[in-house]
């Protein structure tokens, strides 16, 4: 299975990036993949349970264990994770991943690499062909939402509202163009105009305060970024 990789550059102090990403109470605010993360008290390595809201009335639970290295000789920091779900509705059976924090003159390179094994046999592997890219997109979108919060003080909740409004406005613009051209030249021309407007709407860059997965790197640029830390083997 091909691993998911996402990287962003955050112009913020290392300590703040570490604190916001490692706090289980704060993590779900910016990471759309989780609705809640509850630590299990007194566990070493630290264990937790998580909940993901798939639909308004559908929630899928899972579990995980993680550990972090806050002080390393080269100034970087690392967090490793193993996770899984016993819920038969969850496509993800079990997986593992890591976060790296690499300081630099322009800020912190915050990156992740992870993979997982799907359940449901052959049907699960087929479903994962569509799910894995979407999950990767959700990771990148969340990373950019985190960046906006730490760099520009755009709270995650406001960033989500910005994204919803922008999607609605672009959809209305596409529908309006199609309806206008259809009224002037007929239905076939209107459909073509709506298609062209859709391409333009997708290609236009988002507002600076709207999260966008396209702003994140999706391929590891070097071996260090792609290599899982040895810390993962201890979990």
Each residue's pLDDT tens digit in the chain (235 positions)? 689 999 999 999 999 999 999 999 999 999 999 999 999 999 999 999 999 998 888 899 999 999 999 988 888 999 999 999 999 999 999 999 999 999 999 999 999 999 999 999 999 999 999 999 999 999 999 999 999 999 999 999 999 999 999 999 988 887 877 676 667 776 776 677 667 767 877 888 999 999 999 999 999 988 777 788 888 888 8
The whole-angstrom separation of Cα 227 and Cα 208 is 32
| Same domain for 221 and 105 | yes
Whether residues 13 and 47 share a domain: the answer is yes
Pair 19, 131 in one domain: yes
DSSP string over the chain? -PPEEEEEEE-S-HHHHHHHHH-TTTHHHH-TT-SEEEEETT-SSEEEEEEEEEETTEEEEEEEEEEEE---TTS-EEEEEEEE---TT-SEEEEEEEEEEEEETTEEEEEEEEEEEE-SHHHHHHHHHHHHHHHHHHHHHHHHHHHHHHHH---HHHHHHHHHHHHHHHHHHHHHHHHHHHHHH-HHHHHHHHHHHHHHHHHSPPPTTS--GGGSB-S-SSHHHHSPPGGGGG-
Q: Could you give the C-alpha distances from 72 to 75, 78, 116, 128, in angstroms and in order?
A: 5, 9, 27, 36
Query: Do 141 and 191 reside in the same domain of the chain?
Result: no
Instruction: Answer yes or no: do 163 and 61 share one domain.
Output: no
For 130, 137, 205, the CA distances from 134, given in Å and listed in that order, are: 7, 5, 20
pLDDT at 172: 87
Shared domain for 17 and 45, answered yes or no, is yes
pLDDT of residue 193: 62
Q: How many structural domains is the chain composed of?
A: 2
Domain identity same for 13 and 122: yes
For residue 42, the domain's CATH number is: 3.30.530.20
Residue 208 lies in a domain: no
Mention every residue, 6+ apart, whose C-beta is less than 8 A from residue 47: 39, 40, 63, 64, 65
What is the structure's pLDDT at 174?
79
- Domain span at residue 70? 4-153+214-234
Which tokens in the block code for residue 211? Answer: 């999260």
Query: Measured between alpha carbons, how far is 121 from 198 in angstroms, rounded to an integer?
Result: 36
Do 84 and 131 lie in one domain? The reply is yes
- Answer whether residue 82 is part of any domain: yes
209 in a structural domain: no
39 and 71 assigned to the same domain: yes
User: If we measure between CA atoms, which residue out of 104, 138, 101 comes closest to residue 16?
Assistant: 101
Q: Do both 60 and 168 map to the same domain?
A: no
199 and 227 in a single domain? The answer is: no
């Amino acid at each position: 299975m091909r691993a998911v990789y996402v990287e962003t550059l955050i112009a913020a102090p290392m300590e703040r990036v570490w604190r916001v990403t490692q706090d289980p109470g704060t993590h779900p605010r910016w990471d759309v993949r989780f609705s809640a993360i509850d630590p299990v008290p007194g566990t070493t390595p630290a264990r937790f349970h998580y909940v993901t809201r798939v639909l308004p009335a559908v929630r899928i639970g899972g579990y995980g264990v993680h550990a972090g290295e806050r002080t390393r000789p080269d100034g970087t920091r690392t967090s490793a994770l193993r996770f899984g779900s016993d819920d038969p509705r969850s496509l993800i059976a079990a997986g593992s991943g890591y976060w790296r924090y690499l300081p630099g003159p322009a800020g912190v390179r915050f990156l992740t690499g992870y993979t997982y094994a799907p359940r449901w046999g052959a049907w699960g592997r087929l479903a994962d062909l569509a799910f894995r890219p979407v999950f990767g997109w959700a990771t990148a979108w969340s990373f950019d939402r985190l960046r906006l919060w730490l760099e520009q003080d755009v709270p995650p909740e406001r960033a989500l509202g910005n994204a919803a409004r922008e999607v609605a406005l672009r959809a209305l613009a596409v529908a309006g163009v199609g309806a206008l051209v259809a009224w002037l030249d007929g239905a076939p021309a209107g459909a073509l105009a709506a298609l062209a407007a859709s391409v333009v709407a997708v290609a236009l860059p988002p507002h600076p305060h709207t999260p966008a997965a396209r702003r994140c790197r999706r391929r590891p640029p070097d071996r260090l970024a792609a290599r899982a830390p040895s810390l993962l083997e201890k979990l």
